[in-house]
């Protein structure tokens, strides 16, 4: 599609969506009883073993580790990566805030199915949005995208590999410390093996119909040179 015919959207609004809506979607997937999303499974595992530290805190600690790995792979301090950690910090806070009220949502098999489907689609849409909004994004979203560019491996493959690796780590941590596997379910496994493809499809649609602009677009372009 011609660039002039694409819908222009502000990246700042996309970032707001990512922090407040996707943080809720992560918890909603866990609340559905189908298991937590793969990208949040590692922080969830540590929270299950060390519950005196909140899930949100473990989340941005895990994200800090991902940023450190990207620094090592790039062999330099990269400004967008540092800003990404700041976004991850507020994402963790948003998760803790959502935890205060999410238990008031109704339960039951019918609602659980709705919660899983909604959270799955929201997370996929949010990650596709994050990869294009020209703003700092969550480290868990940034890591597969940057790793794909560094290694020249297709994003969908990197995303699936990253998700499956998170699941394996979660299985080991909960089994080793708790004596049983916790937090993973059918929905978790399904999402881990399919989200990469769905995110790719949504992203392809966005590329054809939407163009993002942001206040940090020029700064990011300068930093990437």
Per-residue 3-state assignment (H helix, E strand, C coil) for 3-42: HHHCEEEEHHHHHHHHHHHHHHHHHHHHHCCCCCCHHHHH
List the structure tokens of 29: 């997937």
How far apart CA 58 and CA 205 sit, in angstroms, is 33
Mean pLDDT of the chain: 87
State the pLDDT at residue 221. Answer: 55
Query: 88-115 pLDDT, tens per residue?
Result: 889 889 999 999 999 999 999 999 999 9
Nearest one of 32, 27, 186 to 111, comparing CA atoms: 32
Does the pTM of the predicted model rise above 0.85? no
Query: 25-75 pLDDT, tens per residue?
Result: 989 998 998 888 888 899 999 999 999 999 889 998 999 999 999 989 888
Cβ 127 vs Cβ 141: under 8 Å: yes
Cβ 14 vs Cβ 133: under 8 Å: yes
Cβ 187 vs Cβ 29: under 8 Å: yes
Helix H or strand E encompassing 213:
strand 210-213
């Amino acid at each position: 599609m011609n660039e002039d015919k694409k819908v222009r959207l502000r990246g700042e609004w996309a970032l707001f969506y990512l922090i407040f809506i996707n943080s809720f979607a992560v918890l909603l997937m866990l609340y559905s009883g189908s298991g937590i999303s793969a990208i949040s499974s590692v922080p969830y595992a540590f929270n299950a073993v060390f519950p005196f530290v909140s899930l949100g805190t473990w989340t941005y600690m895990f994200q800090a580790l991902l940023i450190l790995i990207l620094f090592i792979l790039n062999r330099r301090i990269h400004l967008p990566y540092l800003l990404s950690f700041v976004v991850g910090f507020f994402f963790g806070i948003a998760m803790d805030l959502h935890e205060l009220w999410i238990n008031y949502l109704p339960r039951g098999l019918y609602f659980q199915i709705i919660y899983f489907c909604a959270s799955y689609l929201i997370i996929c849409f949010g990650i596709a949005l994050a990869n294009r909004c020209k703003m700092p994004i969550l480290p868990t979203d940034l890591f597969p995208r940057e790793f794909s560019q560094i290694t020249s491996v297709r994003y969908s493959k990197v995303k699936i590999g990253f998700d499956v690796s998170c699941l394996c780590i979660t299985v080991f941590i909960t089994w080793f410390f708790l004596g049983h596997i916790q937090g993973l379910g059918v929905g978790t496994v399904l999402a881990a093996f399919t989200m990469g493809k769905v995110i790719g499809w949504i992203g392809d649609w966005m590329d054809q119909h939407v163009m993002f602009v942001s206040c940090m677009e020029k700064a990011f372009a300068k930093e990437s040179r």
